[in-house]
Amino acid sequence: MRRAVAVLLALSFLLTPFAGCTVSHPDGSAWRDQARQTLDDVASEVATASLVLEQLNGGRLPSSYGITMAVAAEEAASTAEEKLSSVQAPASLGGVPRKVLALIGRATEAVRKAREAVVAEHYDVSRLLRELDRLRTALDEQRAAL
Amino acid sequence: MKRLFAIALGILTAIGGFVDIGDLVTNAQVGARFGLSLGWVVVVGVVGICVFAEMSGRIAAVSGRATFDLVRERLGPRVGLLNLAGSLAVTLLTFIAEIGGVALALELVTSVHYLLWVPLVAVLVWLVLWRAKFSLMENVLGLLGLSLIVFGVALWQLHPDWGHLSSQMAAADKPLGESWTLYAYFAVALFGAAMTPYEVFFFSSGGVEERWTTKDISTMRANVFIGFPLGGLLSLFIAAAAATVYQPLGISVETLGEVGLPVAVGLGKIGLAIAIVGFVAATFGAACETGLSAGYSVAQYVGWQWGKYVKPRVAGAFHLSLVLFTVLAAGVLMTMVHPILVTEFSVVFSAVALPLTYFPILVVANDPDYLGEHTNGRVANALGTVYLVLVGVAAIAAIPLMVLTKMGTA
């Protein structure tokens, strides 16, 4: 009995490092939870990028501060996107994961454009601001629909 | 007149020195997510740190002995060592977060990545710990920390719905869409941020360093009972400013830049510049305090000569420990672990480690062998007991809540 327990413990100890190497494949409900969290995170970064651009355009924010914030927003949005896209979505959800990932990809791309505008000191970007606003609404709606 | 000046200066530095990276980040995160519905926790935490600091300050003034000296004597070497290990780990975690906080603040001003600032900040902190006078360190950084009042002015300029903010604070209810588990997790984090153990180690050890006597008890009480609550008010301003700007937009606070942005929205570049001075002063001051507290804790437990007033060649081991802790803190940050993540861990583990030092201090504060006629009175004991329960509950709940909520992200 003791031997069996010892073997089991040794096996679990040896296999632990491999646990993180497999692709995560949650069920539908767990995937939806993760997607909702990602939509929330990306919407927050979209809103941050938009607010930073507005403040820079209004002359209320120094460019160094704006650059740091825009870079951080882009990194956070990209990390959130990568994290969700590396999860194997269950087949039962049909085309929903593809649609969600496409929306998140568009939002991340818009945050990247905002960072480019901030670094290039092109703050008068009303089209980009409108796009960011539309995307934030779309992300919120998608989150509610999941 | 001189005494009045000393009291006023003490109060001002207590206000400016109250806020550190944990308060900055946690209050902004909570404000953005929960509005002022967790403002009551700040009030509870501030009263708690007043009770804790007053007891340990009184012990230092009457017995001339600091926290870990007494912890070892009361609990014995073995339990005392466990106590030291737990408290030191949390203090070091906070030290790492503070050095990272200074580097993040400098990144905001320069756009140079914070990792490049970490070694320089670590060297500067060590230089201050080694060379600067205790009073200079405390007063200059404490007074500069007062610039965080700019959050209050920015809040005024943001024209918030005061009625809504007041009703959120009074109702103490979670916003729609948030769970009670998350609400409880952030309540524990805020409590840990307000009642960080290092503040008390630093306060009481500083009292011993400055050779407080019973005559200094009234000045010490004025600093604690006026300075700390006003410092807590700064925390509420930070939370309220974040609530006003971020809650309607659904922005969650993940960076130090986001902590300061509401000031820019309200007051523009000049306001933001003042806020950044406050960030640097608050985090640099707290880095010095946590670094010293870590050194104090070990030296007091082991029985080394310690103190900034003692020359380095007399207190060699103490000063060497400061160097090692500073190198360790910078080394951890250079592994690219993010300072905000370390901050989030440090406030939660502060709540976990609080009973380790709170309980022995409460016991000693009731012991006439140490305090003679200055033992706790009825009010101090009633509050001390209530907070013993609160500190215990927070310590037990902290880790399960952290796991359940995935550190507030679930």
In a domain, A20, yes or no: no
Q: How confident is the model at residue A58 (pLDDT cuts 50, 70, 90)?
A: very high
- Output the pLDDT for position B69: 85
Percentage of chain A beyond pLDDT 70 is: 84
In a domain, A75, yes or no: yes
B410 CB neighbours in chain A (<8 A) are 37
Question: Is the Cβ pair A65, B410 closer than 8 Å?
Answer: no
User: Does A23 have pLDDT greater than 70?
Assistant: no
Q: For chain A, say whether B251 makes contact (Cβ under 8 Å).
A: yes
User: Does A11 have pLDDT greater than 80?
Assistant: no
pLDDT tens for each residue of B179-216: 999 999 999 999 999 998 888 888 888 888 888 899 99
A55 CB neighbours in chain B (<8 A) are 261, 264-265
Q: How far apart are the CA of B299 and the nearest CA of chain A, in angstroms? A: 39
User: Does B40 have pLDDT greater than 80?
Assistant: yes
Q: How confident is the model at residue B136 (pLDDT cuts 50, 70, 90)?
A: confident
Q: For chain B, say whether A69 makes contact (Cβ under 8 Å).
A: yes
pLDDT tens for each residue of B216-273: 999 899 989 998 999 999 999 999 999 999 999 999 999 999 999 999 999 999 999 9
User: Does A24 have pLDDT greater than 70?
Assistant: no
Question: Does ipTM surpass 0.90 in this model?
Answer: no
- Output the pLDDT for position B393: 96
Question: Is the Cβ pair A59, B268 closer than 8 Å?
Answer: yes
Boundaries of domain holding A108: 26-145
Q: Which ranges of B176-315 would DSSP assign to H, the alpha helix?
A: 180-194, 197-209, 217-222, 228-246, 256-302
User: Does B326 have pLDDT greater than 80?
Assistant: yes
Mutation target to probe the B interface, by most B beta carbons within 10 A, among A65, A135, A143, A146 is A65
- Output the pLDDT for position A3: 61
pLDDT tens for each residue of B79-116: 889 989 999 999 999 999 999 999 999 999 998 999 99
Q: How confident is the model at residue A8 (pLDDT cuts 50, 70, 90)?
A: low
CB A68 within 8 A of CB B258: no
User: Does A42 have pLDDT greater than 90?
Assistant: yes
Choose the closest CB to B251 out of A48, A60, A68. Answer: A48
Calpha distance B140→B291 (Å, rounded): 17
Question: Is the Cβ pair B108, A68 closer than 8 Å?
Answer: yes
- Output the pLDDT for position B60: 92
Q: How far apart are the CA of B269 and the nearest CA of chain A, in angstroms? A: 5
Question: Could you tell me the maximum CA-CA distance found in chain B, to the nearest angstrom?
Answer: 60
CB A111 within 8 A of CB A90: no
The closest alpha carbon to B342, from B293, B405, B407, belongs to B407
Question: Is the Cβ pair B257, A72 closer than 8 Å?
Answer: yes
A61 CB neighbours in chain B (<8 A) are 261, 264, 269, 272
Query: What radius of gyration do chain A's Cα atoms show?
Result: 20
Calpha distance B152→B157 (Å, rounded): 9
When comparing pLDDT for B135 and B28, which is higher?
A: B28
Question: Is the Cβ pair B111, A55 closer than 8 Å?
Answer: no
- Output the pLDDT for position A22: 57
What number of other Cβ atoms are within 10 A of residue B387's Cβ?
Answer: 23
In a domain, A12, yes or no: no
Q: For chain A, say whether B254 makes contact (Cβ under 8 Å).
A: yes
Q: Which ranges of B64-173 would DSSP assign to H, the alpha helix?
A: 67-110, 114-131, 134-145, 150-157, 162-171
User: Does B38 have pLDDT greater than 80?
Assistant: yes
Q: How far apart are the CA of B180 and the nearest CA of chain A, in angstroms? A: 17
Q: How confident is the model at residue A76 (pLDDT cuts 50, 70, 90)?
A: very high
Q: How confident is the model at residue A55 (pLDDT cuts 50, 70, 90)?
A: very high
Q: How far apart are the CA of A1 and the nearest CA of chain B, in angstroms? A: 32
User: Does B132 have pLDDT greater than 90?
Assistant: no
Report which residue type is found at B26: T
B254 CB neighbours in chain A (<8 A) are 44, 72, 76
In a domain, A18, yes or no: no
Q: What does the mean pLDDT of chain B come to? A: 92
CB A37 within 8 A of CB A51: no
CB B95 within 8 A of CB B339: no
Count CA atoms closer than 13 A to A117's CA, side-chain side.
22
Which residues 18-37 on chain A approach chain B with CB closer than 8 angstroms? 37
In a domain, A38, yes or no: yes
Choose the closest CB to B251 out of A47, A60, A68. Answer: A47
**Under 8 Å CB-to-CB from B210, ≥6 apart: which residues?**
B134, B135, B216
Report which residue type is found at B201: F
B212: left (phi over 0), alpha (psi -120 to 50) or beta: beta
In a domain, A95, yes or no: yes
- Output the pLDDT for position A13: 53
Q: How far apart are the CA of A44 and the nearest CA of chain B, in angstroms? A: 4
In a domain, A36, yes or no: yes
Which residues 219-248 on chain B approach chain A with CB closer than 8 angstroms? 245
Q: For chain B, say whether A133 makes contact (Cβ under 8 Å).
A: no
In a domain, A14, yes or no: no
Q: How many domains does chain A have?
A: 1
- Output the pLDDT for position B171: 86
Six-digit token string for B371: 């305090």
Counted across chains A and B, CB pairs separated by less than 8 A come out at 67
User: Does A18 have pLDDT greater than 80?
Assistant: no
Between A37-51, B149-163, B309-323, B327-341, the lowest mean confidence (pLDDT) is in B309-323
Report which residue type is found at B106: L
Percentage of chain B beyond pLDDT 90 is: 70
User: Does B1 have pLDDT greater than 80?
Assistant: no
